[in-house]
Amino acid sequence: MTLPVVLSPIADREFEEAASWFQLHAGRGEKFVEQVQSALDRIGQTPELHAPVYRDVRRVRVQRFPYNVYYRVLMDRIEVIAVFHHKRNPAIWRSWA
């Protein structure tokens, strides 16, 4: 079963800012977007593969980049609450959950 994956406004903004940073500083913005999209596709296809890490929020790692995608599985969709650098304080994304 495949569910639609929807980014929250905060997650969408974080994702865009990270992609811009990678493009500006490393010329790898497109690759970052590809890897995040791959992570989003994986969670859309197998949303319960990853165990909850905080309440009902699950995490998938973005390959080749120091980022995680935090999401929750709802009845009709998957809600992405954060696209977040793994070194940042997790209390920040937890406040969005």
Instruction: Examine the pLDDT at 1 and tell me if it is beyond 80.
Output: no
If you average pLDDT over residues 51-62, what whole number do you get? Answer: 96
pLDDT in tens, 58-69: 999 999 999 999
Confidence of residue 3 (pLDDT cuts 50, 70, 90): confident
Q: What is the mean pLDDT of the chain?
A: 95
22: its two tokens:
């990678």
CATH classification code of 5-96: 3.30.2310.20
Per-domain boundaries in the chain: 5-96
Identify the bridge partners of residue 52 per DSSP, sorted by sequence position: 58
Q: Which residues contact 34 (CB under 8 A, 6 or more apart)?
A: none
Q: 36 exposed, middle or buried (CB, 10 Å; 0-12, 13-18, 19+)?
A: buried
Instruction: Examine the pLDDT at 36 and tell me if it is beyond 90.
Output: yes
If you average pLDDT over residues 69-97, what whole number do you get? Answer: 95
